[in-house]
Amino acid sequence: MEKVIVTRKIPQPFIDQLELFADVEVWNESYTPMPREKFLEALNDATACFITLSETIDEEVIAHAPKLKVIANMAVGFDNIDVQLVRSKGIVATNTPEVLTETTAELGFTLMLTVARRIIEAEQYVQNGEWQSWGPYLLAGKDLYNAKVGIFGMGDIGKAFARRLKGFNVNIMYHNRSRQVEAEESLGALYVSFDTLLEHSDFVVCTAPLTEETRDKFNEAAFKKMKNDAIFINIGRGAVVDETALVAALQDGEIAACGLDVLRKEPIDMSHPLLSMKNALVLPHIGSASVITRNRMIQLCIDNIRLVLSGKDAKTPIK
């Protein structure tokens, strides 16, 4: 009999699907991951595991999983998996591309507008009883209309984000490891160097995955090149940003504000300086957090597990 480890609580109908062909062990805490020690123990006789970004798949995990055939990662990014190691052991690793593209782009767009128009500050201003009268520059923000927006990472999410800009008469620039001619033609996006993107953008939006090339890409030098009134948005991966440099840039006025849905360490430490800054908005990694999208992600993970355990090819193997 196959055995599947599910490291997060998911709705019962999905568990019912897995139980049609496997024994299932589920960690049933709603908002906390399965402890590492318990995960390692559970893997001893597991043939499949359903994981999230909270689980790191490394040599220790593989050593505890002699029967493992498939790892289903409930995410597009897979920097939490040592893919080369997993492949060398004949284990199939899968992810969940495409199904979360539009939802993540939508969240990123919401985050950008929220920061630009200082929505959280304004709501707190009212709640705190500070609103006494109208003022010419009271909580004045930044226009998106007619602005220059630079997108770092023109993959599926970057393209979906760019499509949402079309109604704002925005000039779109992008930087990517390879040119996306189709995006240039359909979206009017201009391919530029990374430095040009930083120097000329009113909004800089990071949608890039974490690779050795992108790690710490937004560092002290990068923030110094940005406009002093620029807004930085990150919906890619936390480690793409040097957070110490970001805090300094916000404090010193190198940039105006930031909105982050991803951090280097998640959850963020409550003593982190970003949390005490009015010009920094931090979200708890909710880019794909709509009910429909999360259901689709879970279903894709289950489909991948079922296919591999039945000797077939996964729908979305990590390549």
The position carrying tokens 């595991």 is: 49
Residue 239 shares a structural domain with residue 112: yes
Q: Work out whether the CA dihedral 281, 286, 291, 296 comes out positive or negative.
A: positive
Query: Which structural domain, as residue segments, surrounds residue 186?
Result: 100-282
pLDDT at 160: 98
Residues 139, 275: one domain? Answer: yes
Tell me, yes or no, whether 237 lies in a domain: yes
Establish if 319 belongs to a structural domain: no
Tokens 């998106």, residue?
144
- What is the reported pLDDT for 172? 98
Q: What is the pLDDT of residue 30?
A: 78
- Are 246 and 296 in the same domain? no
Domain match, 239 and 305 both = no
Q: Strand, coil or helix: what is 6?
A: strand
- pLDDT for 1 equals 87
Residues 170 and 306 in one domain: no
Residue 303 covered by a domain: yes
Q: Is 115 in the same domain as 141?
A: yes
What's the pLDDT tens digit per position in 218-247? 999 999 999 999 999 999 999 999 999 999
Written in H, E and C, the secondary structure of 186-247 is: HHCCEECCHHHHHHHCCEEEECCCCCCCCCCCECHHHHHHCCCCCEEEECCCHHHECHHHHH
Q: Say how many Å lie between the first and final Cα of the chain, rounded.
A: 28
Q: How many distinct structural domains can be found in the chain?
A: 2
pLDDT at 31: 85
User: Do 125 and 254 have their domain in common?
Assistant: yes
Q: Show which residues are catalytic.
A: 237, 266, 285
> Does 267 sit behind a cis peptide bond, omega within 30 degrees of 0 on the bond before it?
yes
Considering the domain architecture, whether residues 178 and 153 belong to the same structural domain is answered as yes
Separation of alpha carbons 316 and 314, rounded Å: 6
Residue 215 lies in a domain: yes
Q: Confirm whether 318 is domain-assigned.
A: no
Same domain for 56 and 148, yes or no, is no
Q: Which two tokens stand for residue 72?
A: 């289903």
| pTM listed for this prediction | 0.95
7 and 152 housed in the same domain: no
- Residue 198 falls within a domain, yes or no? yes
CB 104 within 8 A of CB 288: yes
Q: What is the CA radius of gyration of the chain?
A: 21
**Positions of the chain with pLDDT under 50:** none
**105 and 231 housed in the same domain:** yes
Strand partners, 205: 151, 233
User: Is residue 145 in some structural domain?
Assistant: yes
Structural domain includes residue 69? yes
Residues 130 and 76 in one domain: no
Domain CATH for 73: 3.40.50.720
